[in-house]
Amino acid sequence: MGLQAKNKVDASFSMSSMTDIIFLLLIFFMLTSSFITPSGLPVNLPSSEASDIIMQEVTVSVTKDLRYSVNDRIVSRDQIKAELTALLQGKKGQVVLHIDKEVPVEYLVEIGGIAAGLEANVSIATQPY
């Protein structure tokens, strides 16, 4: 008696749909990842409800022991204006201030005033709650 099944199960599996899904997930995670580069000095940022992600052109960091850096390059307090002038070169740029929450406000105002005097958009980096 030669009984054989008419419908045979094919044991092969096509991986093309699985690779499509993996590539779509990879693209999704790349696009939704943070585009912010960390600053060079360790800074304890203040927190805020609205913490927007913006593209950083120039980063100024001030630590709680009043060490200054511009774009990860350590500078003195007197050199900040010269560094910002050289980096912005008369164009309207974006300056992001990474200032430790223990630093007195006068230092924030001083650096923000320098950047605003150079016609740059000034933002303060914060951590979300």
* pLDDT by 10-residue block (mean), the chain, 129 residues: 70 79 89 64 62 66 89 88 85 84 88 88 79
Number of CB atoms found within 10 A of residue 103's CB: 17
The residues pairing with 61 across neighbouring beta strands, listed in sequence order, are: 69, 98
Under a CB-based contact definition with an 8 Å cutoff, are residues 45 and 108 in contact? no
Residue ranges covered by each domain of the chain? 47-128
Q: Which residues pair with 75 in a beta bridge?
A: 68
In the chain, the amino acid numbered 122 is V
Placement of tokens 């050199």 in the chain: 79
SS3 128: strand
Q: Are 38 and 125 within 8 A, CB to CB? A: no
What is the per-residue pLDDT for 23?
A: 92
Residues 6+ apart with CB under 8 A from 10: none
Which CATH code of 3.30.420.270, 3.40.470.10, 3.40.710.10, 3.40.50.720 fits the domain covering 47-128? Answer: 3.30.420.270
45 with 125: CB under 8 angstroms?
A: yes
